[in-house]
Structure 1
Amino acid sequence: MILTKLSDRNQEDALLWRRIVAGLEKEVLRLPPSERAWIASRLERIGRLQEELHALFLQGGGPEACRDCGGACCDRGRHHATLVNLLGFLLAGSQPPLPDFARPCPFLGEGGCLMEPSRRPFNCVTFICDAIEDRLDAAGREDFYARERELGALYGEFDARYAGSSLRGILIRASRLKDADLLAPAVGAVV
């Protein structure tokens, strides 16, 4: 019974994902140039910050720490992908990786994350465990958390602007919005 429920949920999430991507592709095509430019400028900065955070993760021995624990934190990412992440792929003219909802994180493949650091979800690039944090010196930790705050503010700009943006994840947000456009103005948005 439990396996059947999980299988049904996985299928529902896969259908919802396909609907989200297809709908967002159409919305992106309809974007006015000024709105596309607004998104692109922020996505560029987000990508750079995420690469910088990933460099600090590497500096702190992230791959070794993850290998030692088996990547347990990456095993919890079902709802981490956001509107920002999808826009990063679509505005670049590419498709996001195909998620496997039978996995605890649908974007975790045999060789690790299927998304490059610049397009990974906020939760994924901003989480460092104690083992990694302890390997960073004080300046590295300060650097990491300053970049995390700046990145959070950028994601927050999307949340304030678009109904479909939330750090709770695109699956949850799209479910709540039903058939509404993800790029519709957020409640109270001043665009």
Structure 2
Amino acid sequence: MNRKNASKNQLLRMPTYLYHLRMLDESGEKFVTAPQLARALDLNVELVKKDLALVSTSEGTPRVGREVGQLIKDIISFLEYDQTTEAILVGCGSLGKALASYEGWSEFGLKIVAIFDNDISIIGQKVNGLTVLPLERIKEVQEIYSAPIGIITVPKEAAQITAERLVKAGCKALWNFAHVHLMVPRRIVVQDESMASSLAILNHRLKELDS
């Protein structure tokens, strides 16, 4: 398995395979074929075959397929969900608090180790066992954890300065929920999450159904 050979679209499909395979495993299914996965997930069968070949440690058996349990392990290993990556979160509003409170991050190998905000009414509160800290302590906390990921859930007006602060503190990747383009050094990985973009696609497809 070589993650460097994976396209962005392949990486995006892997969690979908994993969810479905876990459902099959829970229902007692022992084997699955590429055509079965393609039909269940409404994907091109040749695409699924290439994806499985990328991550699978076994060739599978003709007409029988691959072992569901082993395929789950292969995808988890490929996505590195079996390794823990630490993150710090800045912005403990509604979205930030929801992300920090989510109990399922460990399934994806993510551990939020610290939460920060600049609102004195929020600082000191407990969220999922973590005390919300003032922004001034980001560097101090990073000296302890060296968390590679910084999660940005601040208002868009504060996103750029927050990004700069996280980069200066040693974060190598930024997960940006602020709906604004960030200007950071090229060495920094940025993943933008935009609910507005997703809604635009949803509305477009909805209108296609009505036309």
Say which structure is richer in strand: 2
Q: TM-score, normalised to structure 2's length?
A: 0.25
Q: TM-score, normalised to structure 1's length?
A: 0.27
